[in-house]
Structure 1
């Protein structure tokens, strides 16, 4: 069986492959994410995800919940990511779709809660491969 090594991202001092799966709901789980609101929300989520240096892998907007599967940078916590996405989308959606205000409580679009899971693509074989190749790279770098 062949193991596929995922493409790692790099910063100046780190290689990383960090993915998160987020799920959140509108306040009181109302079915308000439909039609133009759902389409605009998808656009916004892609835009705001890129804004903080993350990459959307998969995105689904259902009438009463949102799924976002993304690849993140190591300097961002899951809480920072979801707060950024929920905060900016709520503000903008309520501005662009004033009719949503009547369906929300006190202008709050999203429930305060959310679900997040780190999603691993790394096996013990991949870690072993990384450790072994790091030593080889270091020797090449030093010219030995």
Structure 2
């Protein structure tokens, strides 16, 4: 993988992290059209927030993303944007989700995040293969 560097007027950075979050109640709902639309929404949100998606997997009940972001952004802000915007749009577009997830909460509370300073491509591929195989 090519190493990306973000340059500012006085800085150079490469900040990456691996993030995982689940659907509420771990329902296996991210399939078919919902999975495709979720992927599109996450890509749009990342574009709007100047975030690069390096790798990603949408399993039936959870999301894995390996992303690069700029220093002025916080991880919690990015997760809030990813979960909040995607939840709202998915529930607007797929009415069956609103019936299934009363209270307007599509994603489970919380998330897991790991900085990836020295992680290798091989290790990431193993993580994604295990994730896909177990979903």
Please tell me the TM-score bracket, short chain as reference: 0.7 to 0.9
Which position in structure 2 is the counterpart of 1:114? Answer: 111
Which position in structure 2 is the counterpart of 1:46? Answer: 43
Tell me whether 1:64 sits opposite 2:86 in the alignment: no
- What SS does the corresponding residue of 1:92 show, helix, strand or coil? helix
> How many angstroms does 1:8 deviate by?
1.8
CA distance in 1, matches of 2:94, 2:106: 11
> How many angstroms does 1:107 deviate by?
1.9
**Stretches of structure 2 lacking an aligned partner (at least 5 in a row):** 120-135
CA distance in 2, matches of 1:50, 1:5: 19
> How many angstroms does 1:41 deviate by?
0.4
Match of 2:82 among 72, 80, 85: 85
Tell me whether 1:33 sits opposite 2:36 in the alignment: no
Worse-superposed segment, 102-111 or 45-54: 102-111
CA distance in 1, matches of 2:57, 2:16: 16
Stretches (4+) displaced over 4 A: none
Change (3 A) 1:7 1:33: closer
Match of 2:10 among 10, 13, 17: 13
Change (3 A) 1:50 1:5: closer
User: Which is higher, the Rg of structure 1 or of structure 2?
Assistant: 1
Structure 1 residues 66-97: Cα deviation after superposition (integer angstroms, max 9, x where no partner): 11111101011110110000000000000000
Output the aligned Cα RMSD.
Answer: 1.7
